[in-house]
Amino acid sequence: MEALWINTFCTTTIEVFRTMFSIEAIPGTPRLKGEPYSSADITGIIGFSGEAQGSIALSFPSDTALKMISTLVGAPMNNLDMEVADGIGELANIVAGNAKKEIQGISLSISLPQVVIGKNHVLSMQSAIPVIIIPFSTPMGNFVVEFSLKKNNCG
């Protein structure tokens, strides 16, 4: 894990939320993830492959997700249904795609989004790779970005 990547994922997330929602996402202190834990209700996940392996997940409490997707589509969303899941998956996809561009020197591919819905669900990423958690606060509510990325061994 390159320390520089923490900044990449952080700034990319800020830029994406600024453009999509016209809000400032304020990052908290990044930390290493210990036990698999998430207090979120919906999570969008994108896998990375190619010259490095890993994933990025954006996790939201229900209220935050509903506010954000309602804003995006211009209509009220009241339940964590397929429409909201689609929006959260796309949000993760956009953050992943833009972060990929900023990660210099390695060629990466991104997977199609996967979305997990469940009250206080647990998210467990690849245990061999350290997972970094960055909490964000916004006027629409808080969310968490967690990512892991490890260059492949050569030879």
Applying CB under 8 A, the residues found at the interface with other proteins are 16, 19-20, 69, 72-74, 83, 86-87, 89-90, 93-94, 96-98, 100-101, 110, 112
Between 104 and 127, whose beta carbon lies closer to other proteins?
104
Question: Is the CB of residue 84 less than 8 Å from the CB of residue 66?
Answer: yes
Which lies closer to other proteins via its Cβ, residue 33 or residue 84?
A: 84
Residue with tokens 């939320």: 17
The tokens for 114 are 């996967």
Least distance from other proteins to the Cβ atom of residue 22, Å: 9
Give the C-alpha separation, 22 to 86, whole Å: 20
Tokens 């949000």, residue located: 91
Q: Smallest gap, in angstroms, from Cβ of residue 75 to other proteins?
A: 8
Residue 41 CB, nearest approach to other proteins (Å): 18
Rounded to the nearest whole angstrom, what is the least distance from the CB of residue 127 to other proteins in the complex?
27
Q: Between residues 33 and 47, which has the closer beta carbon with respect to other proteins?
A: 47
> Which residue is associated with the tokens 């469940």?
118
Could you give the CA distance from residue 3 to residue 9 in angstroms, rounded to a whole number? 11
